[in-house]
Structure 1
Amino acid sequence: MARSDPINIMVVGECGDGKSTLIDALRDKALSERPLTGKNPAGVTKNIVMYPCPDLGSCPFNILDTPGVGDHEVTPVALISMIEEFLTKGMVPGGIRGLVVTTPIPDGRIRLGAQIVQAIVDKGFVASAGNNKYGNIVLCGTKKDKADEEDIQNFLHGTDGDDSVKSLFFKQSPHETGPCALVSKDDYSPLLEAIRQLPASSIAFQKPDSKVMAEALAAKLGMQPEELESQMNVMRQLVEEQSKQVRDMMLQMREDQMQHREVMKEKDQQMQQLMQKMQEDQRRADEARAARDQQQEVMRQQQDQQRRAEAAQAARVQEQLMQAMQDEARQSREQMEAMQRGREEAEERHREFALQMQRQHQDQLNAMRNSSRSSCVVS
């Protein structure tokens, strides 16, 4: 397997500005039980912690969480020294691709954490030919869900003619602008998109002279340049003494990540095979169901045809029966009519016969009367 360099992003911010919430939302919970830490050389328990995150595309993605600026257990000098060491080439496998600076949108100002980053970028970042050394820096406005429209306007564009927070932060950048993302506790997609758009090359950093850094930060930290320079020299020495241990731990973290990716790749392949088998089983089940449905449809059609044929046959039989009954009724009616005509004819003949007999009888009576009268006359 080709080992592509991971996207390593360092996050810097002050305590309470939403940095921890941001990191907790982006990290891979399944892989962050054993974070890689570089212990603070002064012996305090605060660390720089590397959190594996879900891949960006097909590229491994890690976030390096720094102690919050203002944490009473980590001095700004210690934090600066740790950041410098982690930015040094070879400390983190693949280098640091980008640096995210968090600052709350409702605050409407550049906080100390952002000012420290400005000094580190201005004095230590090396821009390759034609490139902007602020191109690897993302200003991340947090707590957008708690900001109103005026806060957002002030952060991005400024209000009442004043400079915006964004332009103040990128003051030394060309055109006073640079990568910027506004996020809320429920939506970090703008930051992920800004990270995707970062240059492919890692940050080029050369540790500046401690005197230069002291002069740049003394006023911001409320210290004398000489005192700050002295503390930085001591802290840098302590950090360098532990750098090999931290580098080895980083390499081990990289190996663990690669092994995990191999395991996850194998599991993904197994899952894909299982899904393919399930899909094939489903396809076969669908085909069997379709064949069964088709067979049932054919049987239903055959049954319908049979029922229609039986119904037609029954209708024909009923029609024939009705016709036979009608014929029988007609014949009976004709017979009744014939009998009625015969009876009427017989009655007519009987009447005629009776009339004839009556006439004959009358004729006989008349003849007898006439005969009697004749006899009487003769006598």
Structure 2
Amino acid sequence: MACDDPINILVVGECGDGKSTLIDALRDKSKSIKPLTGRDPAGVTKDVMLYPCPDLMMNGTSCRFNLLDTPGVGDHEVTPVALISMIEEFLTAGMVPGGIRGLVVTTPIPECRIKLGAQIVQVIVDKGFVAAAGHDKYANIILCGTKSDKAEEEDRVNFMHGTDGGSSVKSLFFKKSPGQTGPCTMVSKHDYSPLLEAIVKLPSTSIAFEKPDAKVMAASLSEKLGMQPEEFESQMTAMRQLVEEQSKQMRDTLQQMNENQAEHRAEMARKDRHVQQLMQKMQEDQRRAEKARVTREQQFELMRQQQDQQRRAEAAQAARVQEQLMQAMQDEARQSREQVEAMQREMAEAEERNQRLLMEMQATNQRSIQAMESSNSSPPMLPLFVNLCTAALTAYTKVRMLN
């Protein structure tokens, strides 16, 4: 069955079995009101009530999930015949969109027995369920032991496996099923997950049901209910007719509820898509803003690197200019020093030449004086002339050295 149709589970049990408490724990609180619960012997649920529940995951697909709460067996205001007629009508194809996928029978674990509600379900399954060849009528039935938290360990063992060689509650309920077994689970008010796991494992097809003849039902149930077969048959015929009339109105109501749910889901899906689009736009805006930020930072970093390179180039150029200036100054100083040294060498050489010349002149003068003294023929002005020449030569040499 496609998940276009909801998974509808009918819940049957006696008054006080914890049936309504179970439904309250599993229902979607935002889509339904709390079912009435309590120990009133008159019962609390008077009609079959549909409770939307959170979606179930079936093979990776989210499927709608509804629980249908029935009046408790033993309700003073809802007779067993009326309850049977209600259950039959809901099991009839088309009563609810998608049909009934499974039937949950609640029975308290501490009581360790098959109660009247479970016995009625057994008769309905045996007489009305239609199974294909090779298939088990009980495959769509879940026996749900309630109040596990209030049961002793021995009660839980007896419920699932039996004790002291006796039959278990499970095997007694499924005694007409192949292997005397079937889907069975135990729950407490703190943990209903085992029941959800069992529902997920139910066959994918809805229950096929045909209303048994009223005589057949009377023969199977009149004695259990303390009624004469004729009385049971008469009541069932009249009740079936009444329930059929009421069910038409209920089908219309349920169909409207289903359409409303579909519209709600479509609206929620539209809103989800809108939110996703907004989120995608926000993410895209954030990506663009982040990209722009990264681009700006890259540009700033590039500008900083360029400025650093320019500063380094300018510093290198200034260093080269300074080095060239220093080199030029050093070259100029060296040239000046070389020129001074050359002038000093020239002056030294000139001084040396002048000294030699002076010494030669002095020597010549001395020889001349000696020669004149020897001959007594020297004019008196010659020594004076020689001395003047010597003095002039010496003065000239000093002036050259100063320049």
Same fold (TM over 0.5): yes
Q: Please name the residue that 1:92 is paired with.
A: 96
TM-score normalised according to structure 1 size: 0.70
Q: Distance in 1 between matches of 2:296 and 2:25?
A: 50
Question: Match for 1:148 among 147, 152, 162?
Answer: 152
Change (3 A) 1:263 1:230: same
Q: Distance in 2 between matches of 1:68 and 1:3?
A: 30
Q: Please name the residue that 1:207 is paired with.
A: 211
Q: Please name the residue that 2:12 is paired with.
A: 12
Change (3 A) 1:233 1:159: same
Change (3 A) 1:251 1:161: same
Please state how far the C-alpha of 1:293 moved relative to its aligned partner.
Answer: 12
Change (3 A) 1:156 1:45: closer
Identity across matched positions, percent: 75
Change (3 A) 1:84 1:280: same
Q: Distance in 2 between matches of 1:262 and 1:168?
A: 46
Q: C-alpha deviations, 1:83-108, integer Å up to 9, x for none?
A: 10111111111110000001111111
Q: Please name the residue that 2:268 is paired with.
A: 264
Q: Please name the residue that 1:130 is paired with.
A: 134
Change (3 A) 1:240 1:289: same
Does 1 or 2 have the higher relative contact order (CA < 8 Å, sep 6+)?
A: 1
Question: Match for 2:71 among 67, 73, 84?
Answer: 67
Q: Distance in 1 between matches of 2:129 and 2:187?
A: 26
Q: Distance in 2 between matches of 1:277 and 1:98?
A: 45
Q: C-alpha deviations, 1:172-216, integer Å up to 9, x for none?
A: 100000001111112111111111111111000000011111111
Q: C-alpha deviations, 1:29-49, integer Å up to 9, x for none?
A: 1111599xxxxxxxx982111
Q: Distance in 2 between matches of 1:244 and 1:130?
A: 34
Displacement over 2 Å in runs of 4+:
266-294
* Structure 2 residue matching 1:21: 3-state secondary structure: helix
Q: Distance in 2 between matches of 1:107 and 1:285?
A: 68
Q: Please name the residue that 1:29 is paired with.
A: 29
Please state how far the C-alpha of 1:238 moved relative to its aligned partner.
Answer: 1.0
Please state how far the C-alpha of 1:267 moved relative to its aligned partner.
Answer: 3.0
* Structure 2 residue matching 1:253: 3-state secondary structure: helix
What stretches of structure 1 of length at least 5 have no aligned partner?
36-43, 295-379
Q: Distance in 2 between matches of 1:289 and 1:71?
A: 73
Structure with larger Rg? 2
Q: Distance in 2 between matches of 1:78 and 1:247?
A: 18
* Structure 1 residue matching 2:202: 3-state secondary structure: coil
Structure 1 counterpart of 2:206, which letter?
S
Q: Distance in 2 between matches of 1:163 and 1:125?
A: 25
RMSD of Structure 2 on Structure 1 (CA):
2.9
Q: Distance in 1 between matches of 2:173 and 2:286?
A: 58
Q: Which moved further from structure 2: 57-66 or 241-250? A: 241-250
* Structure 2 residue matching 1:47: 3-state secondary structure: coil
* Structure 2 residue matching 1:17: 3-state secondary structure: coil
Q: Distance in 2 between matches of 1:227 and 1:237?
A: 16
What stretches of structure 2 of length at least 5 have no aligned partner?
36-43, 299-403
Q: Please name the residue that 1:56 is paired with.
A: 56
Change (3 A) 1:3 1:122: closer
Count of equivalent residues: 289
